[in-house]
Amino acid sequence: MLRLRRACATIARGTKFVSAGTLAIQDSSSPKIELLGVSKTFATSQGSVKALDKTNLKVATNEIVCLVGPSGCGKSTLLNLVAGFLSPSEGSVLVDATPVPGPGAERAVVFQQDSVFPWLTVAQNLAYGPKARGLHAGEVSSIVERLLSLVGLAEYRDFYPLQLSGGMKKRVDLARAYANKPAIMLMDEPFGALDVLTKEKMQIELLRLWQEEALTILFVTHDIEEALFIGDRVVVMTPRPARVAADVTVHLERELDPRRKTSADFQALRQQLMDTLSQNEAESAA
Amino acid sequence: MQAEEGIRQRTRRMRRISLVSILLALVAWYMVTTEWGLVSSLKLPGPGRVLDTLIEVRGTIVQQALVTLYRVSLSFLAGSALGVLVGLVMSRFRLVFAHLEPAIEALRPVPPIALIPFFILWFGIGMFGQVLLAGLGCFMVMVVSTIEAVRNVPRIYVQAARSLGAEQDHIYRTVILPAIVPELIAGWRVALALAFGLMIAAELMGAQEGIGFMIMVARRSLNTHTILLGNIIIGNEAALADRLLHIFTRRLTRWTERDAERQ
């Protein structure tokens, strides 16, 4: 408890430094995603492991919330609970105030690993979601055309994923997830395997998509810079079992220029989050 | 481009090497049996004798070979298609799995050859029993291969499909089925070779036609050159069928690394 209070205090000081007097968005009336006292325990051969411990989290409509924390802390577990791949051991996971029934097309997921179907061409991959939902061939092909030009892959429509670079595959992945016009995008370290430049491009592409369309994004990353660049809020998790250690609203200019990552404000906030993270880790180790 | 040219050149060289080794084996066969006469022609007929036999019986032997090939194809296609289907259904529905698994596991170690007397008793010495026997062998191989292949499909593809709005049956058709094909190839090749083996065994034990039947008849009169000819024909038919299978499966696995590298 003490640990949590101290972390919050640190953050409170920091946010004041960046900008004062802005209302935190999570206080708005009906959150898009809400976790209420959610715990998740896994049974393994070495006994049970608690990945998530009475976690509360609210994400407002059209908000981007980034989850950061030490690796293996349970960030992905939280994401998988919202995705519906897992169900909570305790507490409830709500989307639009309704418990998540299981995976669904309105909550698209982008994984870190390559999940583009290798046996389908680029165009067939993009068509997968709309087809699975039973749209007409005409509708499907117009969605595919739009997405192909949106992510700049029109020339590669008949290529198999094997013939694409890592960055192109990620773009296919992103476009495929978006093909169903989801209200929520759940992203689990989606750009973790990309090189720095490609990663930056993808971040900008994601933000552009988010600016154009109504989208709520829950984004797991271990890269604090990425979290600050993309997120409206950055939620810091404790080491396993994960709880929310700090919840920071990012009041920085929302520009699509990656150079702002090197600004003083940005770096100050980054340092502060780093401190919170390492403090957490040290305390849990003690 | 250069790398591709290199691969093609290497493939050509490998083919030449294979051709030379076949020729060497033929020459060795000729020397041992005919030139040096180290083995009596009854125990191992020479190539000349076998060639003479081929010319002598060419009319009937083509027909016998086609009969066997037809039966093998039928049992392979039906047996392995049914095997893949049952394997998929068993993977999809736990209840079906629980019902069928013990029976399949108990039957699987039994060599189908041991069942031939029963098959003759039940179905006579017509084609039906023989196709059923070889088909059973293919079926067993493919059920097991399919169940294992489904288990090996990366979970992430299934999760991706689910979050894209696909229902379980749709996922089986559009994700599981294409994803297991590369792994099924090994099973198909084993099943095809097994189908040839079982078919010859069935024809040996009781049939009215086919290469196995021909070998059986030749055996009664110690007609070893015909027996050897039958074996050579079976070997070539099986190799040809394997080649066709390879061409067919390559079309199905255009998207995999194994083929991207070799083409």
Higher pLDDT, A117 or A222: A117
Q: Which of B69, B48, B39 is nearest to B229 (CA)?
A: B48
Continuous segment of H or E residues that includes residue B67: helix B58-92
A241 domain-assigned: yes
The percent of residues above 70 in pLDDT, for chain A, comes to 88
CB contact under 8 A, A132 and B174: yes
Distance of CA B90 to the CA centre of its chain: 24
CA count, 13 A, side-chain hemisphere, A240 = 14
Query: How far A263 CA sits from the closest chain B CA (Å)?
Result: 37
Task: Measure CB to CB from residue A118 to each of B159, B161, B255 and give the nearest one.
Answer: B255
Q: Read off the pLDDT of residues A38-49 as tens digits, 9 standing for 90 and up.
A: 999 988 888 888
pLDDT confidence tier of residue A92, bands split at 50, 70 and 90: very high
Query: Looking at this predicted complex, what is its ipTM?
Result: 0.83
pLDDT value of position A8: 43
The partner residues of A20 in beta bridges, in order of sequence, read none
Answer whether residue A29 shows pLDDT above 80: no
Look at residues B77, B78, B103 and name the one whose alpha carbon lies nearest to residue B90. Answer: B103
User: Which residues of B fall within a CB distance of 8 Å from A162?
Assistant: 255-257, 260
Residue of B nearest to A109 (CA): B163
Per-residue model confidence (pLDDT) at position B235: 95
The answer to whether residue A149 is domain-embedded is no
Instruction: Assess A243–B contact: CB distance below 8 Å, yes or no.
Output: no
Query: What is the pTM (predicted TM-score) of this model?
Result: 0.83
CATH of the domain at A270: 3.40.50.300
- In this complex, do B165 and A111 lie within 8 Å of one another by their Cβ atoms? no
Contacts with A128 from chain B: Cβ below 8 Å = 161, 164, 166, 174
Contact B159/A105, CB-based, under 8 Å?
no
Distance from CA of A121 to the nearest CA of B (A): 9
> Would the CB atoms of B260 and A161 count as touching at under 8 Å?
no
Nearest residue in chain A measured CA to CA from B154: A115
Minimum CA–CA partner of B180 in chain A: A119
* Residue A128 domain flag: no
Phi, psi of A76 (to 5 degrees): -65, -35
- Our count of domains for chain A comes to 1
What are phi and psi for residue B21, nearest 5 degrees? Answer: -70, -35
Inter-chain touch A129–B165, beta carbons under 8 Å: yes
The whole-angstrom distance between A163's CA and the closest CA on chain B is 9
- What's the confidence (pLDDT) of residue A286? 65
More confident residue, B26 or A263: B26
Domain range for A235: 2-106+182-285
Q: What is the pLDDT of residue B260?
A: 55
Are A111 and B254 in contact (CB < 8 Å)?
A: no
Rounded mean pLDDT for each run of 10 residues along chain B, 263 residues in total: 77 91 94 89 91 91 95 97 96 95 92 92 92 96 96 95 94 95 95 96 91 94 94 95 93 78 46
CB contact under 8 A, B166 and A118: no
Top pLDDT among B3 and A108 is at A108
pLDDT for position B1 = 54
How many contacts, defined by CB atoms under 8 Å, are there between A and B?
71
* A280 in any annotated domain: yes
Average pLDDT (A201-213) is 88
Q: Which of A77, A116, A119 to mutate to test the interface with B (most CBs of B within 10 A)?
A: A119
* pLDDT value of position A251: 76
A130 in a structural domain: no
Chain B contact for A139 (CB, 8 A cutoff): no
A145-164 residues touching B, CB cutoff 8 A: 160-163
Nearest to B50 by CA among B244, B174, B218: B218
Q: Do residues A121 and A168 make contact, with C-beta atoms less than 8 angstroms apart? A: no
Residue ranges of chain B whose CB lies within 8 Å of a chain A CB: 156-157, 159-167, 170, 174-175, 178-179, 181, 254-257, 260
pLDDT digits (tens, 9 = 90+) for A179-200: 999 999 999 999 988 888 889 8
Single out the residue of A7, A24, A5, A10 nearest to residue A250, CA to CA. Answer: A24
Q: Read out DSSP for chain A?
A: -HHHHHHHHHHHHHHHHH--SPPPGGGSSS-SEEEEEEEEEEEETTEEEEEEEEEEEEE-TT-EEEEE-STTSSHHHHHHHHHTSS--SEEEEEETTEE--S--TTEEEE-SS--S-TTS-HHHHHHHHHHHTT--HHHHHHHHHHHHHHTT-GGGTT--GGGS-HHHHHHHHHHHHHTT--SEEEEESTTTTS-HHHHHHHHHHHHHHHHHS--EEEEE-S-HHHHHHH-SEEEEEPSSSB-EEEEEE--S---S-GGGGGSHHHHHHHHHHHHHHHHHHHHHH-
Residue A72 belongs to a domain: yes
Residue A46 covered by a domain: yes
Tell me, yes or no, whether A54 lies in a domain.
Answer: yes
Closest-CA residue of B relative to A160 is B255
- Token pair 């797991």 in the structure block, residue: A220
Which residues of A fall within a CB distance of 8 Å from B172?
none
Q: Which residues of B fall within a CB distance of 8 Å from A161?
A: 255
